Amino acid sequence: MRQGSESSRTVRQAVAYDLVELVRLRALRSGELDGDELDALAVALWEQLAADDVRVLVVDAEGEGLAACGIGTVDRRPPRPGSRGGRAGHVVAVVTDPDHRRHDHGGAVVRGLLAWFRDHGVSRVELRAPVEHAPPRRAVSPSR
């Protein structure tokens, strides 16, 4: 398969069915986790799937499983110039399965989160995910 053809995969909101794969991807980012830590991660992700102020987006892998996931949150801060209603967005996690890297899945997830932030009146978004082998990120406007 050509590298570019996979980058057009659809980004979608995660559902309960994705929980096992979400835990797997997040564990890739967190390193070795014991059973209790995996259980706590599963509970936290389960709660986030239903939260109004959290969006979990995924890209399906060809065949089965997930190629990538991303988590964004919205919180309220005191209003200030340039901040509509005091809403701040945070990209707190973007993880791509090692077998699916270099196909822009992470970028597609971030673009999906930016659209969600824009729809929720967020005027400033911060990337809070550690990104290996990538240049430092800065705050971006979801309207761009």
CATH numbers and ranges of domains, the chain: 11-127 (3.40.630.30)
Contacts of 5 (CB under 8 A, 6+ apart): none
Instruction: Quote the percentage of the chain above a pLDDT of 90.
Output: 26
**Average pLDDT rounded to a whole number, residues 58-62:** 91
| Region 136-143 average pLDDT | 51
Is residue 82 predicted with pLDDT exceeding 70? no
Position 1 pLDDT exceeds 90: no
Residue 42: what pLDDT? 82
| CA gap 2, 16 in Å, rounded | 31
- Tell whether the model's pLDDT for residue 9 goes beyond 80: no
Distance CA 66, CA 70 (A): 11
Task: Tell me the C-alpha distance between 79 and 11, whole Å.
Answer: 31
- Residue 28: per-residue pLDDT: 76
Whole-model pTM: value is: 0.77
Residue 13 reports pLDDT greater than 70: yes
pLDDT-derived band at 72, boundaries 50, 70, 90: very high
pLDDT at 56: 94
How far is Cα 43 from Cα 10, in angstroms, rounded to an integer? Answer: 26
pLDDT, averaged across the chain: 79
